[in-house]
Structure 1
Amino acid sequence: MLVKLDQTHRELVHRIRSHAEGWLADKGTDQYRRGVNPEAVRRSIDHQIDTGAFVGWCVDGQIVAIVALIEADAELWTPQEVKEPQTYISRLLVAEHQHGKGYGAALLDAVGEQGRERGDRWIRLNCWTTNTRLHAYYEAHGFEHVRTVDIPGRMSGALFQRALRTGYSPRGGAR
């Protein structure tokens, strides 16, 4: 079930993000291990929590995956793309011991369905440029790679989108 997260979930969001760092390192990716300032990341996450950007996927009363719903990044997308109706996601993270159960996919589908109901045309994101396993994950869940943008100091320039259309039925995922 999709739930809105608030300030009472701050520690949980940071714990899930911290777990992701170790999990990604174990997978051999450089994501979160280079080119980021940990304090700046923490402040950004706190701001997203304070503005109500985070939602979570709840199973049996436990938050098992989270994502922030934010504005499209105008440094990465064209002005035309930024203007299009869209759901823009950031920080899709799965809680410890919950990987491989379809919870991330279920959360993607739920926020995509909300966007479709609002009339959004796309669900879009930017992700870590060098994490090709993450790229494959998004492609396996119906996203297309739009392009990769190389901006000095920005590590997440791989742009992906999935169409949200009337009659769209999300593929798979735990419900």
Structure 2
Amino acid sequence: MTVDWSGDKVVFRRAAAEHMDEVLSVLDEAAGWLEARGVSQWPSRFEAAWVQETLTRGETWLVEIGGKVAGTATVDWSDPLWADLGGTAGYVHRMAVRRWASGLGSVILDWAGDTARQRGANTLRLDCVKSNGRLRSYYETQGFVHCGDVPVGGAPGQRQDDGPVTWVSRYELDLEAR
């Protein structure tokens, strides 16, 4: 899919195993930027194992502008963090943009909503660390509604059955209202 952003064409390309380094590079750049600002959204570096499964399933995407990788996002179709809520949803995970593409997030979220709608979903869901007030506000300005805070195991950005507990805020966008 191709859309316009700031006068440039944005291309969403499905990432494959050979794109692992590009995906990790974008995630690590974003994670380092957050860490430098004292935001504990993600670990300082991502492990390949954390994205391998969604790459294999074809759910991770590279976002390109002018042939250069500007961002990445995963849109998948289930998330146990939302097991208490019904409905058909798409789930956005690990959305990140390179600093030179700051502002591209709204284009990615619009694309993710369209992608979920095409798959028959009526909502788009995502989450972030509860303490990340700036990101929470951003999601709300994009039309997402806060659906509660829940604990998850593992450090920020991980989902494990053990380890430290991180509280995350869940957000949902009604695709039928858009």
Structure-1-length-normalised TM-score: 0.79
Task: Name the CA distance, whole Å, in 2 between partners of 1:123 and 1:154.
Answer: 25
Give 5+ residue unaligned stretches, structure 2.
1-10, 154-163
What does residue 104 of structure 1 align with? 105
Task: Name the CA distance, whole Å, in 2 between partners of 1:124 and 1:130.
Answer: 18
Deviations 1:80-107 (A, max 9, x none): 42xx1111110011124222xx311101
8 Å contact kept, 1:5–1:54: yes
Give 1:8 deviation, angstroms.
2.3
1:19 aligns with 2:9: no
1:44 aligns with 2:65: no
Task: Name the CA distance, whole Å, in 2 between partners of 1:151 and 1:10.
Answer: 25
Report which structure shows greater RCO (CA 8 Å, sep ≥6). 1
1:95 aligns with 2:98: yes
Aligned residues: 158
Give 5+ residue unaligned stretches, structure 1.
169-175
1:141 aligns with 2:151: no
1:119 aligns with 2:120: yes
Q: CA RMSD in A?
A: 2.1
Give 1:162 deviation, angstroms.
0.5
8 Å contact kept, 1:24–1:31: yes
Structure-2-length-normalised TM-score: 0.78
What does residue 129 of structure 2 align with? 128
Deviations 1:97-143 (A, max 9, x none): 222xx311101101211222332110001212211111111111111
SS in structure 2 of the partner of residue 150 of structure 1? strand
Give 1:63 deviation, angstroms.
2.2
- Higher strand proportion: 2
After TM superposition, what 4+ stretches of structure 1 lie above 3 angstroms from structure 2? 151-154
What does residue 69 of structure 2 align with? 63
Identical pairs, percent: 24
